[in-house]
Amino acid sequence: MEAINNFLLLLDTYLGSAAYFPYILLGVGIFFTLYLGFPQIRYFKHAWKVVTGKFDKKDAQGDTTHFQALSTALSGTVGTGNIGGVALAIFLGGPAALFWMWVTAFLGMTTKFVEVTLSHKYRVKTEDGTMAGGPMYYMDRRLNMKWLAVIFAIATIVSSFGTGNMPQINNIAQSMEMSFGIDPMLTGGILAILLAMVIIGGIKRIAAVTSKIVPIMGLLYVIGALSVIFYNLDQIGPSFAAIFTDAFSGSAATGGFLGATFAYAFNRGVNRGLFSNEAGQGSAPIAHAAAKADEPVSEGLVSILEPFIDTIIVCTLTGLVILSSGVWSEKHENTFSRTDLEVIAGKYDDTNETDRTALYHYLNNTDENTVEKFNGTIQVRDGQPVSNGYTMLHARSVAENVRFIVAGEDPYTGTLRIENGRLIKEDIVIVGESLVHSAALTSIAFSNGFLGSYGEYIVPLSLMLFAFSTAIAWSYYGDRAVVYLFGQKGVMPYRIIYVAGFFVASFADTTLVWTLSYVTIVLMTLPNLLGIFLLRREMKDTVKAYWQDFDAEQAQKNKD
């Protein structure tokens, strides 16, 4: 298992984590933004009119309304990334990461407009009378690149488990256990039953459920976020200043945060932006292909709103909550994760400027790094480390008040072996003060508002709604990919496996699944970006024809 995980991590270094990937993603967005004349600005107002049903036609083919299609797609994008993903991006790249998420979203509005329009244009009606669409259909039917369509479809099925299914319920179960003491298996069992009841009903039931969940979960989260933002209103100005200043200097170093290089913040911001709004990944077009519309461009216009709502609104609220509350640069008592823990040789103090500089170069792996990993032993007495010559780092910060615990709450006494900066003994629990990240950081931030300590409960409740709705949407994405590859006969077996995997992941280790998802997301994104670029001229002609027909239709209505 570890060997497979290491292989996937290595593969990811050449894909999603590679230096070229953000430039390709943004490059396609920049190209289409200029090529189509900034559609995310010019057509923004019209897109809202379309989604409200103002231009609907009763005889239009499809399974869902524009709003239901948007809700389904949003339920797939508004998930743990909006809660924990933003916190992780700020933790890794500082305030600058939020700026690059904005850039990704702004350009992604155009990218999504293109991919949804083309996918809707080449959708098909399946054996059971429902619509099926997505990048695999335009790759096959228009580009005659079936091999590329197959790669995309397989990656979509794997990603449905690795992105939308197993990590989502794992996060829900852990959050509910931590906040309310609910057994993960119980959480998984109840939600798996609810999931089955929804997805077995197909896209119409999925759309009906998500169109109700999305507004409720959005309202709950916005109210909670605003309670923190207005409580810390005097810090909003400095927060925005930090976002824009650090976006170009890459030298943030506030409190316990030791800073990130420009490239590091840029990469993390762009990647988290993609994981949040999925613009360019090709997943949302699958949901939009079911919309009742005879004009593909009209549904493409609806999709412009997704990155705006998902990233520019929801992710910004999360970011401002974290930055204005100040918790992102403070150390908090927590249980240390082994993956975030390392021991370095020498004594370092992150309040000392010289030491901070040395740690900055080490954590960002610059050419100026002189810090080495520690090899040797640590003496521990009554849970307290007593030997010198090393520094413990956790979550990119110097750990303080560290205690070693065994057998529940018993303090450990003995010798611990450290090899290449890693603790060898597995049955030791380490607690102390350090920076925190992901959903834990967001949860702490939400407790620093008008709601006080009660505010932190908004995070697990929102996380449950966000993540559950994501699982619903991704079941449909995988469902349509199965239809493309195997026909209608493969749908029910897929749904059964999907629900089973959802339950098991509530109490199992999903590290391998997460790692696999990093790879498959890119195997969806790169073929999709290539496909829409090859169809750039057709996209421009399709948009032009839409507006000509629309203007003519409106002129006729005015005459009548």
Q: Considering 412, 434, 456, which residue would you say is the last residue of a domain?
A: 434
Query: What confidence tens digit (pLDDT) does each residue in 205-254 have?
Result: 888 888 888 888 888 889 999 999 999 999 999 999 888 887 776 555 44
| Res 42 pLDDT > 90 | yes
Q: Considering 411, 434, 457, which residue would you say is the last residue of a domain?
A: 434
Going by pLDDT thresholds of 50, 70 and 90, the confidence category of residue 546 is very high
Range of the domain at 493: 65-253+266-330+445-542
Query: What confidence tens digit (pLDDT) does each residue in 439-456 have?
Result: 888 889 999 999 888 888
Query: What confidence tens digit (pLDDT) does each residue in 105-125 have?
Result: 899 999 999 999 999 999 998
Query: What confidence tens digit (pLDDT) does each residue in 317-354 have?
Result: 999 999 999 998 889 998 888 888 999 999 998 888 88
Specify if 36 maps to a domain: no
Query: What confidence tens digit (pLDDT) does each residue in 455-498 have?
Result: 888 888 888 888 888 888 899 999 999 999 999 999 999 999 99
| Res 375 pLDDT > 90 | yes
Q: Are residues 336 and 362 in the same domain?
A: yes
- In whole angstroms, give the CA distance from residue 560 to residue 556: 6
Q: Are residues 506 and 412 in the same domain?
A: no
Specify if 280 maps to a domain: yes
Q: Are residues 536 and 492 in the same domain?
A: yes
Specify if 40 maps to a domain: no
Kindly report the average pLDDT of the chain as a whole number.
Answer: 86
| Res 382 pLDDT > 50 | yes
Q: Are residues 495 and 418 in the same domain?
A: no
Q: Are residues 417 and 279 in the same domain?
A: no
| Res 1 pLDDT > 60 | no
Q: Are residues 115 and 172 in the same domain?
A: yes
- In whole angstroms, give the CA distance from residue 440 to residue 85: 11
Specify if 48 maps to a domain: no
Q: How far is CA 555 from CA 471, 547, 560, in A?
A: 44, 12, 9
E strand or H helix that includes residue 399: none
Give percent of the chain above pLDDT 70.
Answer: 90
CATH number at 78 reads: 1.20.1740.10
- In whole angstroms, give the CA distance from residue 306 to residue 298: 14
pLDDT of res. 43: 95
CA triple 59-60-64, angle to 5 deg: 120
| Listed residue (94, 73, 85) closest to 318, CA to CA | 85
Specify if 5 maps to a domain: no
Q: Are residues 405 and 450 in the same domain?
A: no
Specify if 191 maps to a domain: yes
- Residue 224 near residue 446, CB atoms below 8 Å: yes
pLDDT of res. 128: 82
Residue type at position 146: K
Token pair 């239009």 in the structure block, residue: 60
- In whole angstroms, give the CA distance from residue 515 to residue 505: 14
**DSSP 8-state symbol, 454:** G
> Which is more confidently placed, 551 or 547?
547
The sheet with strand 341-345 has its strands ordered as 341-345, 390-394, 397-398
pLDDT of res. 15: 67
Query: What confidence tens digit (pLDDT) does each residue in 264-323 have?
Result: 666 666 667 666 677 888 998 998 888 888 899 999 999 999 999 988 999 999 999 999
Going by pLDDT thresholds of 50, 70 and 90, the confidence category of residue 92 is confident
Q: Are residues 271 and 292 in the same domain?
A: yes
Q: Are residues 323 and 354 in the same domain?
A: no
SS3 58: coil
If one counts the domains in the chain, the total is 2
Q: Are residues 270 and 292 in the same domain?
A: yes
Q: Are residues 101 and 214 in the same domain?
A: yes
- In whole angstroms, give the CA distance from residue 173 to residue 184: 5
| Res 55 pLDDT > 60 | yes
CA quadruple 247, 167, 495, 213: dihedral sign: negative
| Listed residue (436, 241, 257, 256) closest to 324, CA to CA | 241
Q: Are residues 366 and 413 in the same domain?
A: yes
pLDDT of res. 351: 85
Specify if 50 maps to a domain: no
E strand or H helix that includes residue 545: helix 536-559
- In whole angstroms, give the CA distance from residue 50 to residue 116: 15
pLDDT of res. 508: 78
- In whole angstroms, give the CA distance from residue 560 to residue 558: 5
- Residue 133 near residue 124, CB atoms below 8 Å: yes
Specify if 70 maps to a domain: yes
Q: Considering 406, 434, 462, which residue would you say is the last residue of a domain?
A: 434
Query: What confidence tens digit (pLDDT) does each residue in 503-537 have?
Result: 998 887 666 666 676 777 888 899 999 999 999 99
pLDDT of res. 353: 85
What are the residues facing 334 on neighbouring strands? 432
pLDDT of res. 253: 47
